[in-house]
């Protein structure tokens, strides 16, 4: 009986030891780094009718940060193995839930970005596509009070969509 107890204790200790020492990081990217070493990301100008001044810089910098953090690609201004460019084409506010007094109790902020992706090592992967995301907010707040936070959340979602479409190959 003592040997059985010792074996069980040894198994528990080994399990804890190995489970603490094994780590796996999944970033979703499936890139052949022998063929692709760089990505060029141009500024995404704001072409929307309603303009939120910091949107271009926030979007472009967050996009570059995503590829820097989650890939080994060198981010360049131009002439990368992969090329991303486009423009912000929509920044709109739309009333959502209308109350009995005919005023909206919620508003939706939507951002839409047109992206042109070129893979200079495999032109079959090239595309032009529109990505969009939105966040709703209560009309207890003005857009000026919430647009920094909401735009940051929307930007993150759109960038995740772009990243998955370009290098995740799911």
* pLDDT tens-digit readout, 7-33: 656 555 555 545 543 333 344 567 889
* pLDDT tens-digit readout, 24-70: 334 456 788 999 999 999 999 999 999 899 999 999 999 999 999 99
Cα separations in angstroms, 121 against 27, 54, 101, 129, 165: 22, 33, 58, 19, 16
* pLDDT tens-digit readout, 125-141: 999 999 999 999 998 89
Q: What is the pTM of this model?
A: 0.80
Read off the pLDDT of each residue in 90-97 and give the average, rounded to a whole number: 91
């Amino acid at each position: 009986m003592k040997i059985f107890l010792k074996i069980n204790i040894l198994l528990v200790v080994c399990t804890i030891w190995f489970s603490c020492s094994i780590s796996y990081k999944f970033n979703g990217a499936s890139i052949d780094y022998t063929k692709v070493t760089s990505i060029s990301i141009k500024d995404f100008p704001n072409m929307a009718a309603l303009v939120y001044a910091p949107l271009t810089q926030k979007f472009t910098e967050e996009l570059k940060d995503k590829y820097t953090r989650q890939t080994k690609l060198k981010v360049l201004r131009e002439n990368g193995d992969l090329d991303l460019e486009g423009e912000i084409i929509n920044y709109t506010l739309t009333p959502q839930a209308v109350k009995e007094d005919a005023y909206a109790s919620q508003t939706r902020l939507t951002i839409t970005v047109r992206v042109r992706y070129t893979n200079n090592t495999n032109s079959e992967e090239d595309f032009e596509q529109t990505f969009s995301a939105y966040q709703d907010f209560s009309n207890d707040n003005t857009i000026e009070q919430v647009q920094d936070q909401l735009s940051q959340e929307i930007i993150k979602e759109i960038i995740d969509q772009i990243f998955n479409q370009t290098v995740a190959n799911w």
